[in-house]
């Protein structure tokens, strides 16, 4: 490019732009020979910006396209074409940019969404607050219209890989809801989640199986936190949702009629649950120790209710799982060897420690991995909500009708109860055996 850097016009290339020297006093302007109307200016500080000049509504305006090298020469040429096309349609790109600068950010809209909609209308608003912060906080400073459908899909794909399809679906629902509320409240834009599809979900059918239940009860019996222990027992004895049991108050217990009235449920209607003698016995013992309104008070002595059963739940799941593992002969041998080693190294009292199960549990995991033994997950895949499903499942197993199961669990729709018609195969097996007997008899 002979003397090109001294000319006003030349063919813009990356190499030539990198060779441009910053002026000493005022910005210099150059025009591109390849793309009509594309220009650039370089400041004394060495900053290079692409732009076009157009006459808009009688005024000569400079429309800034972007800065080099963040914007490449090729991108600048495309941007120049787009800007000229916008002007031809009667639009002012500068006005659009100004509008974008004044536009609401995702973080601002989310804050408004929480205060105007989620907190006043959703019992699960804490999940909105927690999950958006976890997965979408990197968008808080982004203008709403700058977030594209492609970006949303890319994020959802990442969440699917790292956190599972259920989390991905919930995130898509939240993005869609936040943008829809923004549009309802006057934001003029397009919802980037529009048209994106959720993953197909399967109804969860996990419950505590008959062979697991006695070992689960034993783990509950030895749970060191009495508040957590009784909490899980009441979950198992009522089939109520975990949040309803956490917020259970003495004022809602009818001792005479042995009933618990839940004034505020997920479906928005109060539910009355009959209390069995076993449940009443647990509540009576807790009442004798009560010092506040909550059946399950804060374990830290505060004024609130019990809020964090997760650590106790992990202990119970691991204890139950350990007990099931040790029913497997090759795993039981590992457990015996670990206990012998503990006894030899620390004495008999080491085996009496209430935390010895944890040492055995971790030891079995390590040894099984080293020996290539695949340990079954047992209760490690069980969630707290599965206790509620367990209650419905055992009602189905013992012959309760779907309407009765639905009523006991506070289901508003029969659809929610349908899952219990397929959770246990014994009645199906019995029916098949009877049919087979009849069919085989006809062949004799």
Q: Is 39 helix (H, G, I), strand (E, B) or coil?
A: strand
> What is the rounded distance in angstroms from the CA atom of residue 162 to the CA atom of residue 156?
10
> What is the rounded distance in angstroms from the CA atom of residue 441 to the CA atom of residue 444?
6
| Averaged pLDDT, 358-377 | 94
pLDDT in tens, 379-430: 998 999 899 888 888 887 777 777 777 777 776 666 566 666 555 555 555 6
Distances (CA, A) of 148 to 15, 167, 191, 282: 32, 20, 9, 54
> How large is the angle between the packed helices 213-221 and 310-325, nearest 10 degrees?
130
| Edge-to-edge strands, sheet with 59-68 | 9-10, 28-32, 39-42, 48-56, 59-68
Collect all residues with Cβ–Cβ distance below 8 Å to 191 and sequence separation of at least 6: 176, 179, 180, 183
> What is the rounded distance in angstroms from the CA atom of residue 28 to the CA atom of residue 9?
12
Give the model's confidence band at 2: pLDDT under 50 very low, under 70 low, under 90 confident, else very high.
Answer: very low
| Averaged pLDDT, 195-209 | 82
Task: Tell me if 368 sits within 8 A of 334, measured CB to CB.
Answer: yes
* pLDDT number for residue 3: 40
> Does the reported pTM lie above 0.75?
no
* pLDDT number for residue 422: 54
> What is the rounded distance in angstroms from the CA atom of residue 188 to the CA atom of residue 339?
68
Give the Cβ contact number of residue 4 at 10 Å: 15
- Locate 58 and state its tokens: 């009688």
Task: Tell me if 385 sits within 8 A of 416, measured CB to CB.
Answer: no
* pLDDT number for residue 193: 93
- Share above pLDDT 90 across residues of the chain, in percent, rounded to a whole number: 52
Bridge partners, residue 63, by sequence: 52
Choice among 168-182, 194-208, 321-335 with the minimum mean pLDDT? 194-208
Bridge partners, residue 54, by sequence: 61
First to last CA, the chain: 101
| Averaged pLDDT, 80-103 | 74
Tell me the torsion sign for CA atoms 91, 94, 95, 97: positive
Collect all residues with Cβ–Cβ distance below 8 Å to 257 and sequence separation of at least 6: none
* CB-neighbour burial class of residue 407 (10 A; exposed 0-12, middle 13-18, buried 19+): middle
| Averaged pLDDT, 115-135 | 89
> How large is the angle between the packed helices 213-221 and 226-238, nearest 10 degrees?
150
Task: Tell me if 228 sits within 8 A of 216, measured CB to CB.
Answer: no
The chain-wide mean pLDDT, for the chain, equals 86
| Averaged pLDDT, 1-16 | 71
pLDDT over 90 (residue 126): no
Tell me the torsion sign for CA atoms 288, 292, 297, 301: negative
* pLDDT number for residue 365: 95
Give the model's confidence band at 168: pLDDT under 50 very low, under 70 low, under 90 confident, else very high.
Answer: very high
* pLDDT number for residue 42: 93
* pLDDT number for residue 1: 41
| Averaged pLDDT, 1-25 | 78
Task: Tell me if 392 sits within 8 A of 235, measured CB to CB.
Answer: no
Task: Tell me if 44 sits within 8 A of 26, measured CB to CB.
Answer: yes
Give the model's confidence band at 439: pLDDT under 50 very low, under 70 low, under 90 confident, else very high.
Answer: low
* pLDDT number for residue 5: 42
Q: What are the φ and ψ backbone dihedral angles of 191, each rounded to 5 degrees?
A: -70, 115
pLDDT in tens, 311-359: 999 999 999 999 999 999 999 999 999 999 988 888 877 777 778 899 9
| Averaged pLDDT, 131-138 | 95
């Amino acid at each position: 490019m002979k003397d090109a850097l001294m000319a006003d016009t030349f063919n813009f290339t990356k190499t030539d732009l990198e060779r441009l020297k910053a002026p000493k006093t005022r910005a210099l302007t150059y025009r591109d020979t390849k793309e009509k109307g594309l220009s650039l200016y370089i400041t004394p500080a060495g900053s290079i910006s692409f732009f076009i000049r157009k006459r808009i509504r009688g005024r000569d305006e400079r429309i800034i396209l972007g800065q080099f090298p963040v914007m490449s020469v090729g991108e600048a040429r495309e941007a120049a074409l787009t800007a000229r096309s916008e002007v031809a349609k009667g639009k002012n790109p500068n006005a659009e940019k100004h509008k974008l600068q004044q536009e609401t950010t995702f973080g601002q809209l989310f804050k408004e969404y929480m205060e105007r909609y989620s907190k006043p209308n959703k019992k699960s608003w804490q999940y909105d607050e927690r999950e958006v912060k976890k997965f979408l906080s990197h968008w808080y400073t982004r203008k709403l219209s700058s977030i594209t459908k492609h970006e949303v899909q890319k994020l959802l794909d990442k969440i699917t890989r790292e956190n599972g399809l259920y989390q991905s679906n919930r995130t898509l629902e939240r993005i869609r809801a936040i943008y829809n509320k923004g549009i309802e409240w006057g934001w003029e834009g397009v919802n980037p989640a529009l048209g994106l599809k959720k993953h197909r979900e399967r109804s969860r059918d996990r419950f505590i199986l008959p062979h697991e239940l006695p070992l689960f009860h034993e783990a509950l019996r030895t749970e060191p936190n009495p508040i957590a222990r009784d909490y899980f027992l009441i979950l198992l004895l009522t089939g109520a949702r975990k949040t309803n049991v956490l917020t259970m108050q003495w004022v809602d217990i009818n001792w005479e009629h042995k009933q618990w009235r839940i004034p505020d449920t997920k479906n928005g209607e109060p539910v009355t649950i009959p209390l069995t003698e076993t449940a009443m016995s647990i509540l009576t013992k807790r009442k004798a120790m009560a010092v506040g309104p909550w059946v399950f008070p804060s374990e830290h002595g505060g004024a609130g209710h019990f809020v964090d059963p997760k650590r106790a739940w992990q202990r119970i799941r691991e204890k139950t799982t350990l007990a099931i593992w040790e029913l497997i002969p090759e795993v039981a041998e590992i457990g015996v060897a670990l206990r012998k080693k503990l006894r030899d190294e620390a004495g008999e009292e080491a085996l009496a420690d209430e935390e010895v199960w944890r040492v055995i549990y971790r030891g079995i995991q390590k040894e099984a991995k080293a020996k290539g033994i695949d340990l079954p997950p047992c209760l490690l895949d069980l969630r707290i909500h599965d206790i509620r499903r367990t209650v419905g499942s055992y009602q189905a197993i013992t012959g309760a009708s779907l309407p009765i199961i639905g009523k006991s669990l506070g289901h508003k729709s029969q659809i929610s109860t349908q899952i219990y018609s397929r959770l246990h195969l014994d009645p199906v097996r019995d029916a098949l055996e009877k049919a087979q007997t009849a069919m085989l008899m006809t062949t004799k």
